[in-house]
Structure 1
């Protein structure tokens, strides 16, 4: 069940919201927990038991760690929690990849398990791990109410694709939260914005990317290759940031405040800056629970560079079981290390436009590793991007696709820049009557129009993937 579906928008969500707002405040956590289980079980009824096992397991480990705080037992309990979580994640996500690699290297014929990947397992596993680690560190107290902890793990707005929540970010909302008309209004508008990003922009950009990748290398001009990967870059941004907007909006309606997960990443002036803006909750997680425990920047430059390498190898394989994801992570590690050694100082000394061009080029090339799986496909696409396939810079098919998708691309480029938010802020803060009138009109009309167009698209269209579901 995806947010951008008729089933969710017109069946599950209305029924859930009616139940949620009709029950007394002390029963809202129960309704949210049961509703989240129904939401998850709709697509994966078997794997709901896996998620419940992770919930109960880390609830118990957290209680034990707090009870034996300061003793050796607490470290053992922490280790048990981490091992169990990583084993579950590794088994379902990487077992087949490892066996396939062994078969390829050693010529064996170990049968593959071919287990479907539990939806959202990478996200809720990282959440429960962060909770247990924080309890061990003393950064948060163990939750004694298992229902509240269950809501933290299973909460459907951000269960499938984040943002990854640390327990202390939502603890007080789990215990007592209130909603008012302003919060509901903000949440609905934020949800509609995310829905429009997803169905009006991401889905149609995905169609362009699909058309480009279905062409043979003998038809791929330089312009077409760059057009295709730009379409994918915009698709994955609007797909994932749209989901995050919808999650934040639903959270606001329910009385929660979720952290932002994106901050206009394509205006970044360095690769480091890009990762301060893209999938912020994941970058923060790896920084707090891997990079800093490894020593961060406290043990000299060689150790810091090693820590960066480890973190980005893990970041790559977190996204998927494939060599392409490992190379994707190593690609970013390479440039982050260069920026740490000397490139960062150079970027600081030159106009930002050069940093933005460099970063955009690095990121666009990285999406080739991310989007294509086999080394042959990746190499062929990179050859086309740099004119090494003999086709040349432009062909008639590339010009046709540019004309066909020109309006969509222009809208997408404007939408991924902070121009709109700056205009809204300027109108909102203006003291002139016309500006305030325009702001109030837009505040009411634009969400309604976006919702109407999005629903019309959902009802009519069949192409409606969510890219981050596979992680």
Structure 2
């Protein structure tokens, strides 16, 4: 089940809200937990057992670490056990086939591997349980004594499928004492509908264009079409994932939680380093706090810093998927991040903001080619086409037609990827009257109606980060 489905919007969510607010406050975590299990088990019921195991396992680990906090050998052993088991489960389901395939290539073997469906959200809740155990070990939080509350933290359906990755220390107070109110509920509904609109009206529609271009061999399209297509994908992945994150944060508000912000207009960045501070913020924060800083962070020599950066980026790429294209994608951004840290950021400081922005978006857009094409041969061929190495045709009728028929959509995508709409609405509300609030609410309802109309007739409704 995904947030942008009619079953979720008009069946599951209203039922959950009704039961949740009808329940006494001391039962609301239990209601959320049961509802989250139903949400998770909707598509793959058997994998609920893995989530339950991870929840109970790290709940016990947290208690044991707190109990033996003065015995470093014991607590370190528990940490090691927790990370080994959690990452072992993740690697088995996510990387088993990838590892076997590469062993076969390296050693010229023919071992067979069974295709295992990836448990939904396992990459996200694994990182959440690991961070919880580490924070208890560090003494930053106390172990949760109530397993229902801990289970709610792990399984909470708003952030389960695609994040944001929620750290226990960020919502510990709200797990036991949150204040639901009409204002927060209204903000949550509005943010959910805005996210839904970004996903259904923007990402899905531009994704249709990208699919039509991607489906043709890179040797058979023009340079113009190649750039039109990858720019379309650049917008699609942003509005798809940021829309889903907005829906998740909005759902959190409906149930009284303030989930962490996951995107901050990354396409307005003036460097690759800034881009990754604005894109998938919760993942970047997780890797910084639980990998980069423990490896030494900025406290070690420059050579070690650069090595650690590449390690983090290698694992960031690998986290996204069991395929070499994701590893190349991660190392590609790790290379630019390292080069910027060495000297490029200083060089860019004296350049105009437009030059810095064009440089950043060029790097990011080319990077999305590696992310999207699982075959490295296709990715390289597509990049060659983008720069005219594969074809002699720079522009053709189909490329012009694709741009012409989607020009208004591209303009809308460009505007909505900047803070401009949000700032305009904020300024408008500053001079506020009750009438303006009513107009905004009415506009939100119209967006929901339009999204519903699209979902009723729409056969193309993917969620790109669902597989991660």
Fold conserved between structures, TM > 0.5:
yes
Residue of structure 1 in register with 2:30 after alignment: 30
Residue of structure 1 in register with 2:381 after alignment: 380
Residue of structure 2 in register with 1:428 after alignment: 429
CA contact (8 A) 1:427 1:438 kept: no
Deviation per residue, 1:384-437 (Å, 9 max, x gap): 11011123321111001011111111111111111101111222223xxxx757
Counterpart Cα distance in 2 of 1:363 and 1:269: 11
Deviation per residue, 1:297-339 (Å, 9 max, x gap): 1011111111101000000000000100000001001101110
Residue of structure 1 in register with 2:178 after alignment: 177
Shift of 1:438: 7.5
For the pair 1:460 / 2:461, whether they are aligned, the reply is no
Counterpart Cα distance in 2 of 1:410 and 1:398: 17
For the pair 1:270 / 2:271, whether they are aligned, the reply is yes
For the pair 1:353 / 2:350, whether they are aligned, the reply is no
Counterpart Cα distance in 2 of 1:336 and 1:5: 37
CA contact (8 A) 1:130 1:289 kept: yes
Deviation per residue, 1:222-248 (Å, 9 max, x gap): 111111111111111111101110011
Residue of structure 2 in register with 1:123 after alignment: 124
Shift of 1:193: 0.2
TM-align CA RMSD: 1.1
TM-score, normalised by the number of residues in structure 1: 0.98
CA contact (8 A) 2:218 2:378 kept: no
For the pair 1:67 / 2:85, whether they are aligned, the reply is no
Residue of structure 2 in register with 1:150 after alignment: 151
Residue of structure 1 in register with 2:16 after alignment: 16
Counterpart Cα distance in 2 of 1:457 and 1:337: 43
Counterpart Cα distance in 1 of 2:210 and 2:70: 55
Residue of structure 2 in register with 1:5 after alignment: 5
For the pair 1:317 / 2:318, whether they are aligned, the reply is yes
For the pair 1:470 / 2:467, whether they are aligned, the reply is yes
Shift of 1:103: 1.1
Q: Secondary structure at the match of 1:47?
A: helix
Shift of 1:77: 0.5
For the pair 1:222 / 2:219, whether they are aligned, the reply is no
Counterpart Cα distance in 2 of 1:366 and 1:436: 45
Residue of structure 1 in register with 2:91 after alignment: 90
For the pair 1:334 / 2:335, whether they are aligned, the reply is yes
Shift of 1:439: 4.1
Shift of 1:442: 4.0
Q: Secondary structure at the match of 2:75?
A: helix
CA contact (8 A) 2:20 2:31 kept: yes
Shift of 1:441: 4.8
More deviation, 443-452/359-368: 443-452
1:444 equivalent among 441, 449, 461: 441
CA contact (8 A) 1:198 1:243 kept: yes
Structure 2: which 5+ runs fail to align? Answer: none
Counterpart Cα distance in 1 of 2:380 and 2:457: 37
Counterpart Cα distance in 2 of 1:390 and 1:409: 25
Shift of 1:177: 1.4
Deviation per residue, 1:169-222 (Å, 9 max, x gap): 111111011211111110000000000011111111111110001122233111
1:442–1:331 distance in 2 versus 1, CA, 3 Å? farther
CA contact (8 A) 2:223 2:391 kept: no
Counterpart Cα distance in 1 of 2:443 and 2:383: 40
Counterpart Cα distance in 2 of 1:310 and 1:247: 30
Counterpart Cα distance in 2 of 1:442 and 1:97: 52
Shift of 1:355: 1.0
Counterpart Cα distance in 1 of 2:434 and 2:365: 40
Counterpart Cα distance in 2 of 1:147 and 1:339: 45
TM-score, normalised by the number of residues in structure 2: 0.98
Counterpart Cα distance in 2 of 1:179 and 1:268: 35
Counterpart Cα distance in 1 of 2:60 and 2:384: 53
Aligned counterparts, 1:228-247, within 5 A: 228-247=229-248
1:326–1:438 distance in 2 versus 1, CA, 3 Å? farther
Counterpart Cα distance in 1 of 2:136 and 2:353: 42
Counterpart Cα distance in 1 of 2:90 and 2:79: 17
Shift of 1:352: 1.4
Counterpart Cα distance in 2 of 1:438 and 1:390: 57
Residue of structure 1 in register with 2:195 after alignment: 194
CA contact (8 A) 2:291 2:312 kept: yes
Q: Secondary structure at the match of 1:77?
A: helix
